[in-house]
Amino acid sequence: MLKELIDKFYLDREKGKEREQTRFYVTDAGKCARAVFFKFKKAPRGEMEARVLRMFEHGDYIHRLILSTLFSLGLVRASEINVPTQQIISGRADAILTWENELYVLDIKSINSFLFKNLLQPKEENLDQIQLYLHFFNIQKGILLYVNKDTQELKEFVVISDRARAEKLLQDLQALKTKIDGNVIPARLADFPSNKECQFCQFREICGQASANEMSWSEFKKKLSSQRPLL
């Protein structure tokens, strides 16, 4: 009874958020290019579970709790700051902190106990994201703060700005933008479908129907339309 109502609330709200994507998000950096392409093209995707949407919302609450503590400690110089407007990418850093007269970009990540226990260094995709924030805010240091959402334990990693890494990420996004504009579906990940990203990918089903290499989006849409009237 309540479960169905609550699930429906989350799923309906998620549908209401769907809109045309015209710029990359910082969270797209370092992700599978094909998955990002499909997202831009609003390709048919597996429905997100209401349970997962609730987990995302729970993660947002944890972020706010941490931020409120940092505000109380007087460390927060600004919170929820958008990256400066430019053509390619948009995103919002959790906070910029001041600690011992130095500025830090803060990115908070909530993860489960299993990942938390095995986390000896920052996840590569999180490093990609914080490098872009450091690049756009022109700040030399960042902190990746991981919260174990099951136990509320914390782990932190200081990250130093790596201009070459940020520039490479931006070049890759620019190359992907050319493919998006030219309707060329990027190649699959080489280790599809065993790659961890594929296991949680909403486009796994249609990805398996496209060829492994680059292919024309127009041709693939025709193939999909002949199977289901979605596009």
The footprint of ligand SF4 (CB under 6 A) covers 32, 34-35, 188-189, 192, 195, 197-198, 201, 203-204, 207
Q: What is the number of other CB atoms lying within 10 angstroms of the CB of residue 9?
A: 12
CA distance 12 to 35: 23
Query: Looking at 133-209, which runs of residues are DSSP E strands?
Result: 141-148, 154-160, 184-185
CB nearer to ligand SF4: give 12 or 191.
191
Nearer to ligand SF4, 71 or 200 (CB): 200
Nearer to ligand SF4 by C-beta: 123 or 141? 123
**Closer residue to ligand SF4 in complex, CB, 90/195:** 195
- Contact in structure between 174 and 29 (CB atoms under 8 Å): no
- 93: nearest Cα among 129, 124, 140, 64: 129
- Cβ 174 to ligand SF4 shortest distance, Å: 19
CB of 19 to ligand SF4, least distance (A): 21
The Cβ-side half-sphere exposure at 213, using a 13 Å CA radius, reads: 0
Which residue do the tokens 């972020």 mark? Answer: 63
Nearest-approach distance from CB 11 to ligand SF4, in angstroms: 21
**Residues belonging to the chain:** 231
Q: Residue 34: how many CA atoms within 13 Å on its side-chain side?
A: 28
Nearer CB in complex with ligand SF4: 56/193: 193
Compare residues 85 and 199 and give the one whose CB is closer to ligand SF4.
199
**Least separation in angstroms between CB 37 and ligand SF4:** 8
In the bound complex, what is the minimum distance in angstroms from residue 192's beta carbon to ligand SF4?
4
Least distance CB 30 / ligand SF4 (angstroms): 12
Q: At what angle do helices 33-40 and 163-181 cross, to 10 degrees?
A: 50
Answer whether 144's CB lies under 8 Å from 162's CB: no
Cis amide bond preceding 44, omega within 30: no
